[in-house]
Amino acid sequence: MNLTIAEFKKIVSKKYVWVLTLLLVLFYAYLILNIGDNFSVVYSKRALQPVFQEIMDAAYDPQVQEYVIKNEFNVTFDELKPVISPKIAQTIEQYQGKIYKGYDVPKELKDEAALRIESLVERNVTINGMIKELESKPDTPLNRYLLQQYTHMPKMEPNLTRWDDWIDINHSMLPLLIAFVVILGVASVYTGEYTSKMHGILLTTKNGRSKLFWSKLLASCLFAAIVVIIFQSLAALLYMHVYGLPFKNTPMNSLTSFYKMPNTMWALEFYLRQLAGSLLGAIVLTAVTLCISSLCRSNLVSFFISGIYFGLGALYSLSLEGQYITSKVTIFADVSTFSLMSLTDVLGNAKVFIIGSHAIPTIRLTLITQAVIFAAALLLTYVFYNRKEITA
């Protein structure tokens, strides 16, 4: 019998783990599908797809920009019509009220298009303004960083690709669900041995100390990885069903929630990093939960303390407003395991931490902190498990 497999079976043979996981899966599916039923959320995004390119071109036209700014971002499509190229206007009018790739293109396409053009112009103006402002500001590490980022910003694109929905997958709900299931499965890995009184026997066997420790770690990480895969695939399938696949890569900066952030990354790259963060975070959480488990005497206590460890970081991180500076206070949220699992705040907002004359991307601190926590958790687990006096 392979020890790692045996340990893995111990984790997954607990019925409550699977029952609760199933309930959470259903709950999550219900939640996402319900948003999808609220069709207007999806509607406006799909509706503009046929004129995607035209809107973008219009927004980059200096003449259009000037007109929109002059009218304080409050113009109708008909007012814009003389300024934009006839070809753009023609295309937009051509699709209005028709069926395109299976969607009803609404009658209000014109108004929608005008709104989009305005918002894109606004973004361009905002960022150009920021660059100008930064150039005249004193040369601090933060200003240098922001100037560097904003001048290297990819070209704006209309936000039609569904990436803003996909980026949102890992914002809050999914990391919480994954963490819950991981903690549920792993919290009893050591306490289970204590409560079943196996601890004494295990510690007197040849492989019951270090080899068993590694087997338990490996089995728990395997469990965590499977949980991450299950929930990420489920989320991807649901989002595919509700919003459709993102059809084109787009700069993060074109997405509504990030458009003022000094982020030069592209959405696909960010999403893939979120997946990696989800896995790494789950593994750090596994190590921390193992450590707590090795220290506690009951499954429930171990579960709650692990939950508090993750929950505090999550709560704090989610309470932060979108900002790109990590302060001495918010750093605790930014380097938390939750932040690694979500990445939305830390990496999406391209946060930096200012130390002396350096602006350090906060994500580096998050990764370093989590690596240290991981190593420390392993070390402590080993010590606690082996040193725990058997007196009961």
Partner 1 sequence: MQLRTQNLTKNFGNRCAVDHVNLNFERGVYGLLGPNGAGKTTLMRMMVGILPPSSGKVTLDGVTIGELGAKYRDILGYMPQEVGYYRDFTAKRFLQYLSALKGLDPKYANRRIDELLDLVGLADGKNKKLGQFSGGMIRRIGIAQALLNDPRILILDEPTAGLDPNERIHFRNILSELSEERIVILSTHIVSDVQSIAGQVILLKEGKVVNCDTTENLRHMVEGKVWLATVTHGELNELKKRFPIGNVLQKDDHFEIRIASDSKPLQNATAVEPSLEDVFIYVFGGQAE
Residues that bind partner 1 (CB under 8 A): 1-3, 6, 10, 13, 193, 196-209, 211-212, 387, 389-391
> Closer CB to partner 1, residue 132 or residue 211?
211
Least spacing, CB of residue 390 vs partner 1, in Å: 4
The answer to whether 223 and 12 are in contact (CB under 8 A) is: yes
> Closer CB to partner 1, residue 6 or residue 308?
6
Indicate the residue type of 311: G
Least spacing, CB of residue 261 vs partner 1, in Å: 51
Indicate the residue type of 388: K
d(C-alpha 121, C-alpha 117), whole Å: 6
Least spacing, CB of residue 385 vs partner 1, in Å: 11
Indicate the residue type of 2: N
> Closer CB to partner 1, residue 101 or residue 387?
387
> Closer CB to partner 1, residue 126 or residue 298?
298
Ordered DSSP codes for 229-260: HHHHHHHHHHHHHHT----S--BGGGSGGGTT
> Closer CB to partner 1, residue 10 or residue 260?
10
The answer to whether 350 and 324 are in contact (CB under 8 A) is: yes
> Closer CB to partner 1, residue 293 or residue 344?
293
Which residues does 179 contact at the CB level (< 8 Å), separation at least 6? 281, 282, 285, 310, 314, 337, 338, 341
Q: Report the candidate in 2, 80, 14, 1 with the shortest Cα–Cα distance to residue 303.
A: 14
Least spacing, CB of residue 210 vs partner 1, in Å: 8
Least spacing, CB of residue 19 vs partner 1, in Å: 15
Least spacing, CB of residue 202 vs partner 1, in Å: 7
> Closer CB to partner 1, residue 371 or residue 383?
383
CA distances from 334 to 94, 157, 316, 357, 359 (A): 48, 29, 9, 20, 15
DSSP-derived secondary structure letter, 105: P
Least spacing, CB of residue 289 vs partner 1, in Å: 20
DSSP-derived secondary structure letter, 156: P
The H or E element spanning position 357 is: none
Least spacing, CB of residue 203 vs partner 1, in Å: 5
Q: For residues 292, 1, 196 and 225, what is the CA-based torsion angle, rounded to 10 degrees? A: 30
Which residues does 377 contact at the CB level (< 8 Å), separation at least 6? 284, 287, 288, 290, 291
> Closer CB to partner 1, residue 198 or residue 245?
198
3-state secondary structure (DSSP) of residue 197: coil
